[in-house]
Amino acid sequence: MSRKLIPGRLVAATHNKGKVVELKDLFEPIGFQVISAGELNLEEAEETELTFEGNALIKARAAAQATGAPALSDDSGLEVTALGGMPGVHTAIWAGEPRDFYRAMEKVERELQAIDAKDRSARFVSCLAVAWPDGHEVTFRGEVEGTLTWPPRGEMGFGYDPVFVPTGFDVTFAELEPAQKHAMSHRAAAFEKLKAALL
């Protein structure tokens, strides 16, 4: 039995400011008041699953239980074909703690050069999870294909955006205007599925 998500307060179960901006851009125009786990001083849930879906659900469940409101979580990452899908669910901590995406991008590039990879294809994956305080939950997955470039280019976006060139473009996600990126991103693809099912 599908359940609709009613416009109103929606907890974004993330402390990543870049993700919060994208989620607000997607949800606020359709009547949601998005407030992040960071703004609410919620603890970050430990991501112990081996899939994007599993980790997204961990975060959404924790925020829904802590706030008594529906919670939305995004778990996303970069899958590099020549590296067997890595960094995958380890995208944020690929270069260790504290999180440093420039070091993480360098590590991906070093590993591609170490195996003399001719295939530089990659995809961004996003899994959106919605959890309600009563335990009901759903997930939606979106992907965007592209290739990796080096050195990083662009000042917009966040994470690995400066090295990711989406298919059909010659600029990185970090060189695209935010509205253009939001319209075609992996998060936007997952959001379209969520919207069709829940709104």
pLDDT digits (tens, 9 = 90+) for 107-132: 999 999 999 999 999 999 999 999 99
* In the chain, domain spans: 9-198
Q: Is the bond leading into 152 cis (omega within 30 degrees of zero)?
A: no
Residue 141 structure tokens: 């997955």
Give me the CATH topology for the region 9-198.
Maf protein (3.90.950)
pLDDT at 18: 82
Residue 22 structure tokens: 């994208």
Q: What is the pLDDT of residues 66-95, one digit of tens each?
A: 999 999 999 999 999 999 999 999 998 888
Residue 23 has pLDDT above 80, yes or no: yes
- Helix intervals (H) in 41-116: 52-67, 101-114
From 25, 74, 75, 116, the catalytic residue: 75
For residue 75, indicate whether it is catalytic.
yes
- Helix intervals (H) in the chain: 17-27, 52-67, 101-114, 178-184, 186-198
Residue 164 structure tokens: 């990711």
**pLDDT tier at 98, thresholds 50, 70, 90:** confident
**Beta-strand pair 121-131/71-80:** antiparallel
Contacts 24+ apart (CB under 8 A), 83-91: 83/108, 83/111, 83/112, 83/117, 89/47, 89/49, 89/50, 89/51, 89/52, 89/55, 91/159, 91/160
